[in-house]
């Protein structure tokens, strides 16, 4: 038994808020939530969390754990540790590993490795096309039988609209969403950053915002044609958001997420050629940042996901053009978002927590993101007032490609509890 | 001031003034370019640019001497690190460095370990260990000079980084214009051709606007990068629009690669709209100074009658390139100009 005493509860799923105690049973589920709960159990662990924010365990629906195949960048164990340290009890990993997650046995391998780590819940997104090659449909049904929660060719779009249509139709029988990485390969070309004033200033090949929004528009049209669930992941442009807004107004099953970096950084950060700012979709000018912030405030955006994408130091220590796309996020997301969105008054803490818990859980239909009696005891306890300086060198993630190095941020995870077990305390994995 | 430089002052009185001036400027604290590298015009002050041009002016006569050699860089190791093929720029830098008595090492892609998979970082660390004082780098990716600069206390000169910048080309262009026109202020300079993929265009836009010139761009819309006018230039699609006021017509080389990528339909059509021949030159109101960074495509952006004509300064640009690069090498290598003593 574990009893969290006197915490300030924030549970956007049920609108629960205010000071209460939470009792967790031996099976790892929430036994009781209420005032002045006592336990007469001898060896119950009683933790005083007064003055701290108690929220559902955070959910990150878009991470890259690099295993199998790229264990030098990250692996399932280090990725789950990074998640635990960052307050995430549920994460969803993308299929662009080597081999690609396009068969049942790869899904099973990942789930077994995660089970052995015992650090929160890892769900798998399977490839939509075999080998992520965009030619033939992967054995989606077989992977669903092994527990995948979405399909995606993340890293690219399915260029062939006809294959995209067939995949969307097919996944209806499993009621899972397609997570769309929206990028027209032709329009993106050899671009490495947003096409705009900064790219022109420093002479870098650009990716126009429309490389994203033309695919968003196409796939929303196909969502209408097929009636399937389409989730636009790491949405980053004003126009993409407009398409999603209209689709939702029409009643289509379209959802989207946005990353912390597209909410907090602009393409100005690329000016000094820091390869840690190289990410796909690229950092955008302020106009797009303002648009996605507005989308969050209006509720058009369902979730915030890190797109945690670790790379080895030597891979990022190259020219901007050569360096791989991607930045890590699991250990910084919450603090960066609290600092830049909550402390500035853009969102309430409750609104932010919604996008990190029930929002993504609902998109994927996961049993996560709620504090209620009978739910799994996945709980994150946060002190929103603690200030700290981001230092990637001490991360659990093997990746050091963090664009926030040196940022002063507020908000520290005190406890990460998954399945009734403390998996991280004060940022230290248990 | 080093003994080497002292010895040098005896032979060329013109330098003496500059040295005194440089001494006073050091105390003013904002000694930007000479702090370490010459990588971008964008981050230079107008004063830095003027100082380089003045220095080049004082070196100008050296090239006419029977023995083209002064000892300013004696004992210094200058490395030409070219990851991209180049004959003109590399030769120009080599002659500039040798005229200043530096020891010059040329590293070209074909013989470098870059092709064997050694990283840029490791190449720079190797050159540091070998004692390089100045690394002149050309690479097809923007930002590589900065990456190299981070690896050591040597000075870095950017000899062209992808579509980024080509500062020494731009400085020699300014020098050529200033010699002919006296000043750069209020001149109308038209840069015509492929702006998107041109480091020369970028450096010249920054340099010319800093010096108070008006910069006009003439190019097909496919070769004008996004938001270009925000850099302080005026964009035109037709040469006729600038014929009235252009003082200097700066042509850029069209690369065959752009044709393959469908930026325009054919070389023939490109030449029809953007090629300069004697007849078109006559339509300009003023006597126009025609410039080109080379190598030229005869019959595409420039016809033979213009290339070989009286209004063309291409050969002067080449000669001035050596002088301007001497000035840069000299200023950048002075004692007490290292990054370590800035703080």
Q: Is the domain of A234 the same as that of A311?
A: yes
Q: What is the mean pLDDT of residues B209-214?
A: 98
Q: Is the domain of B160 the same as that of B238?
A: no
The answer to the question of residue A371 being in a domain is: no
The answer to the question of residue A45 being in a domain is: yes
* Higher pLDDT among residues A201 and B19, named by residue: A201
The answer to whether the CB atoms of B120 and A318 lie below 8 A apart is yes
Task: Note the pLDDT of residue A16.
Answer: 78
Task: Note the pLDDT of residue A42.
Answer: 86
Element at B217 (helix H, strand E): strand B214-218
CB < 8 Å to A200, chain B: 225-228, 230-231
CB < 8 Å to A319, chain B: 120, 139, 141-144, 147
Task: Note the pLDDT of residue B24.
Answer: 35
CB < 8 Å to B119, chain A: 314, 317-318
CA distance B161 to chain A (A): 9
Q: Tell me the C-alpha distance between A140 and A151, whole Å.
A: 8
**Active-site entry in A102, A302, A307, A378:** A307
Neighbours of B311 (CB within 10 A): 15
The answer to the question of residue A124 being in a domain is: yes
Q: Is the domain of B93 the same as that of B133?
A: yes
Which residue among A334, A364, A394 closes a domain?
Answer: A364
Instruction: Report residue B247 as tokens.
Output: 């003082």
Question: Measuring CA to CA, how many Å separate B311 from each of A148, B188, B249, B307, B324?
Answer: 71, 16, 10, 9, 22
Task: Give me the CATH number covering residue A391.
Answer: 2.30.40.10
The answer to whether the CB atoms of A273 and B142 lie below 8 A apart is yes
Q: Is the domain of A357 the same as that of A252?
A: yes
Q: B136-163: buried (b, 16+ CB within 10 Å) or exposed (e) per residue?
A: bbbbebbbbbbbbbebbebbbbbbbbbb
CA distance B148 to chain A (A): 10
Q: Is the domain of B73 the same as that of B88?
A: yes
The answer to whether the CB atoms of A319 and B120 lie below 8 A apart is yes
Q: Is the domain of B311 the same as that of B178?
A: yes
Residue of B nearest to A271 (CA): B143
CA distance A71 to chain B (A): 21
Q: Is the domain of A180 the same as that of A40?
A: no
The answer to the question of residue B283 being in a domain is: yes
Residue of B nearest to A321 (CA): B141
User: What residues 36-55 of chain A have any CB closer than 8 A to a CB of chain B?
Assistant: none
Q: What is the mean pLDDT of residues B167-173?
A: 98
The answer to the question of residue B97 being in a domain is: yes
Looking at the complex, does the CB of residue B227 fall below 8 Å from at least one CB of chain A?
A: yes
Q: Tell me the C-alpha distance between B26 and B4, whole Å.
A: 19
**Which structural domain range is residue B92 located in?**
32-166+319-332
Averaged pLDDT of chain B:
87
Between strands B77-82 and B103-108, the pairing is: parallel
Q: Provide the domain count of chain A.
A: 2
Q: Is the domain of B171 the same as that of B280?
A: yes
Whether residue B311 contacts residue B251, with contact meaning beta carbons closer than 8 Å, is answered with no
The answer to the question of residue A341 being in a domain is: yes
The answer to the question of residue A152 being in a domain is: yes
The tens digit of pLDDT for each residue in B253-282 reads 998 888 888 999 999 999 999 999 999 999
Q: ipTM value, please give it.
A: 0.93
The tens digit of pLDDT for each residue in B51-101 reads 999 999 999 999 999 999 999 999 999 999 999 988 899 999 999 999 999
The answer to whether the CB atoms of A203 and B121 lie below 8 A apart is no
The tens digit of pLDDT for each residue in B285-304 reads 999 999 999 999 999 999 99
pTM above threshold 0.90 = yes
Task: Give me the CATH number covering residue B256.
Answer: 3.40.50.1370
For this structure, is A307 an active site residue?
yes
Task: Note the pLDDT of residue A79.
Answer: 98
User: Is it true that the peptide bond before A99 is cis, omega within 30 degrees of 0?
Assistant: yes
Regions of chain A where pLDDT drops below 50: none
The answer to whether the CB atoms of A319 and B143 lie below 8 A apart is yes
Q: Is the domain of A106 the same as that of A238?
A: yes
The answer to whether the CB atoms of B226 and A199 lie below 8 A apart is yes
Neighbours of A392 (CB within 10 A): 19
Q: Is the domain of B179 the same as that of B311?
A: yes
Looking at the complex, does the CB of residue B226 fall below 8 Å from at least one CB of chain A?
A: yes
Task: Note the pLDDT of residue B259.
Answer: 84
Inform me whether the pLDDT recorded for B16 exceeds 90.
no
CB < 8 Å to B227, chain A: 196-197, 200
Q: Is the domain of A384 the same as that of A401?
A: yes
Q: Provide the domain count of chain B.
A: 2
Q: Is the domain of B142 the same as that of B221?
A: no
Task: Note the pLDDT of residue B14.
Answer: 33
The answer to the question of residue B305 being in a domain is: yes
Q: Is the domain of B129 the same as that of B178?
A: no
User: What residues 82-121 of chain B have any CB closer than 8 A to a CB of chain A?
Assistant: 119-121
Task: Note the pLDDT of residue B35.
Answer: 57
Which residue among A338, A364, A390 closes a domain?
Answer: A364
Looking at the complex, does the CB of residue B225 fall below 8 Å from at least one CB of chain A?
A: yes
The answer to the question of residue A370 being in a domain is: no
CB < 8 Å to A199, chain B: 225-226
**Which structural domain range is residue A303 located in?**
57-364
Q: Is the domain of A411 the same as that of A333?
A: no
Q: Is the domain of B133 the same as that of B182?
A: no
Residue of A nearest to B139 (CA): A319
The answer to the question of residue B187 being in a domain is: yes
The answer to the question of residue B27 being in a domain is: no
Q: Is the domain of A392 the same as that of A331?
A: no
Task: Give me the CATH number covering residue A161.
Answer: 3.20.20.140
The answer to the question of residue B272 being in a domain is: yes
Neighbours of A344 (CB within 10 A): 10
Which residue among A310, A330, A364 closes a domain?
Answer: A364
Q: Is the domain of B173 the same as that of B129?
A: no
Element at B3 (helix H, strand E): helix B3-11
The answer to the question of residue B20 being in a domain is: no
- Please report the DSSP string for A95-145 in residue order: S-SSS-S-SHHHHHHHHHHHHHHTSSEEEEEEESBGGG-SSSB--HHHHHH
Q: Is the domain of A380 the same as that of A360?
A: no
The answer to whether the CB atoms of A321 and B141 lie below 8 A apart is yes
Looking at the complex, does the CB of residue A282 fall below 8 Å from at least one CB of chain B?
A: no
CB < 8 Å to B142, chain A: 202-204, 273, 319-321
Q: Is the domain of A252 the same as that of A319?
A: yes
Q: Is the domain of B73 the same as that of B147?
A: yes
Task: Note the pLDDT of residue B110.
Answer: 55
Q: Is the domain of A383 the same as that of A411?
A: yes
Residue B48: CA count within 13 A, CB half-sphere: 25
Q: Is the domain of A242 the same as that of A179?
A: yes
- Please report the DSSP string for B253-313 in residue order: PPPHHHHHTTSSS-HHHHHHHH-B-HHHHHTSSS-PEEE--S---BTTTB-HHHHTSTTB-
Q: Tell me the C-alpha distance between B324 and B168, whole Å.
A: 7
Q: Is the domain of A27 the same as that of A116?
A: no
The answer to the question of residue A369 being in a domain is: no
Q: Is the domain of B310 the same as that of B179?
A: yes
CB < 8 Å to A205, chain B: 163
- Helix boundaries (H) for B87-143: 88-99, 120-129
The answer to whether the CB atoms of A318 and B147 lie below 8 A apart is yes
Cβ neighbors of A419 (< 8 A, separation 6 or more) are: A28, A120, A121, A376, A377, A378
Residue of B nearest to A196 (CA): B226
Mutant choice from B203, B226, B228 vs A, greatest count of A C-beta within 10 A = B226
Tell me which residue of A243, A219, A108, A103 sits closest to A162, measured CA to CA: A219
Task: Note the pLDDT of residue B237.
Answer: 98
The answer to the question of residue B22 being in a domain is: no
Q: Choose the closest CB to B226 out of A196, A317, A320.
A: A196
Inform me whether the pLDDT recorded for B232 exceeds 60.
yes
The answer to whether the CB atoms of B164 and A196 lie below 8 A apart is no
Mutant choice from B139, B158, B225 vs A, greatest count of A C-beta within 10 A = B225
């Amino acid at each position: 038994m574990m009893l969290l005493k006197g915490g300030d509860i924030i549970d956007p799923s049920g609108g629960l808020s205010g000071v209460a105690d939470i009792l967790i049973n031996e099976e790892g589920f929430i036994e009781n939530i209420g005032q002045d709960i006592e336990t007469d159990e001898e060896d119950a662990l009683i933790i005083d969390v007064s003055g701290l924010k108690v929220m559902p365990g955070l959910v990150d629906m878009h991470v890259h754990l690099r295993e199998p195949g790229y264990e030098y960048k990250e692996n399932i164990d280090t990725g789950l540790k990074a998640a635990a340290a960052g307050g995430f009890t549920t994460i969803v990993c993308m299929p662009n590993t080597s081999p690609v997650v396009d068969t049942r046995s790869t899904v099973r391998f990942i789930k077994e490795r995660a089970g052995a780590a015992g650090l929160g819940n890892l769900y798998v997104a399977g490839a939509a096309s075999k080998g992520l090659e965009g030619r033939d449909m992967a054995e989606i049904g077989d992977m669903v039988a092994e527990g995948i929660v979405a399909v995606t060719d993340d890293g690219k779009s399915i260029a062939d609209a006809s294959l995209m249509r067939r995949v969307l139709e097919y996944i209806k029988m499993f009621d899972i969403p397609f997570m769309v990485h929206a990028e027209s390969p032709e329009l993106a070309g050899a671009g490495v950053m947003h096409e705009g004033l900064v790219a022109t200033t420093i002479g870098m090949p650009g990716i126009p915002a429309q490389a994203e929004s033309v695919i968003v528009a196409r796939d929303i049209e196909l969502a209408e044609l097929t009636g399937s669930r389409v989730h636009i992941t790491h949405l980053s442009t004003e126009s993409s958001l407009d398409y999603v807004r209209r689709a939702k107004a029409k009643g289509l099953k379209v959802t989207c997420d946005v990353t912390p970096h597209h909410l907090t950084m602009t393409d100005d950060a690329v000016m000094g050629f820091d390869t840690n700012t190289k990410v796909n979709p690229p950092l955008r000018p302020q106009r797009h940042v303002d648009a996605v912030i507005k989308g969050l405030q209006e509720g058009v955006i369902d979730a915030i996901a890190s797109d945690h994408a670790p790379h080895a130091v030597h891979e990022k220590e190259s020219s901007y053009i050569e360096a791989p796309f991607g930045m890590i996020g699991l250990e910084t997301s919450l603090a960066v978002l609290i600092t830049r969105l909550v402390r500035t008054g853009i969102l309430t803490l409750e609104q932010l927590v919604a996008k990190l818990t029930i929002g993504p859980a609902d998109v994927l239909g996961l049993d996560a993101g709620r504090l209620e009696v009978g739910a799994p005891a996945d709980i994150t306890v946060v002190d929103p007032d603690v200030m700290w300086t981001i230092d990637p060198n001490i991360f659990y993630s093997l990746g050091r490609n963090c664009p926030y190095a040196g940022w002063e941020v507020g908000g520290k995870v005190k406890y990460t509890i998954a399945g009734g077990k403390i998996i991280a305390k004060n940022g230290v994995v248990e | 001031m080093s003994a080497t430089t002292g010895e040098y002052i005896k032979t060329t009185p013109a330098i003496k003034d500059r040295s005194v001036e440089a001494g006073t400027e050091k105390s003013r604290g904002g000694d930007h370019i000479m702090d370490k590298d010459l990588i971008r015009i964008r981050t230079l002050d107008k004063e830095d640019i003027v100082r380089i041009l003045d220095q080049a002016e004082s070196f100008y006569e050296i090239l006419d001497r029977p023995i083209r050699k002064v000892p300013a860089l004696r004992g210094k190791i200058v490395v030409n690190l070219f990851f991209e093929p180049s004959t003109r720029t590399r030769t120009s830098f080599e002659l500039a460095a040798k005229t200043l008595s530096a020891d010059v090492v040329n590293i070209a892609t074909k013989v470098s370990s870059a092709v064997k998979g050694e990283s840029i970082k490791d190449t720079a660390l190797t050159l540091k260990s070998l004692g390089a004082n100045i690394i002149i780098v050309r690479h097809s990716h923007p930002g590589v000079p900065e990456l190299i600069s981070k690896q050591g206390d040597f000075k870095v000169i950017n000899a062209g980084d992808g579509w980024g910048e080509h500062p020494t080309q731009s400085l020699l262009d300014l020098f050529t214009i200033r010699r002919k026109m006296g000043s750069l202020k209020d001149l109308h300079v038209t840069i015509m051709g492929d702006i998107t993929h041109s480091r020369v265009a970028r450096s010249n836009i920054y340099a010319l606007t800093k010096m108070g010139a008006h910069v006009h761009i003439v190019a097909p819309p496919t070769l004008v990068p996004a938001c270009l006018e925000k850099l302080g230039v005026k964009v035109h699609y037709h040469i006729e629009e600038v014929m009235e006021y252009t003082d200097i017509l700066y042509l850029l080389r069209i690369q065959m690669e752009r044709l393959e990528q469908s930026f325009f339909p054919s070389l023939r059509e490109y030449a029809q709209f953007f090629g300069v021949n004697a007849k078109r030159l006559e339509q300009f109101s003023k006597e126009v100074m025609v410039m080109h960074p080379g190598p030229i495509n005869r019959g595409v952006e420039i016809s033979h009658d213009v290339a070989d004509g009286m209004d063309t300064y291409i050969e002067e640009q080449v000669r001035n390139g050596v002088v301007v690069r001497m000035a840069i090498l000299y200023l950048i290598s002075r004692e007490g100009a290292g990054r370590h003593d800035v703080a």
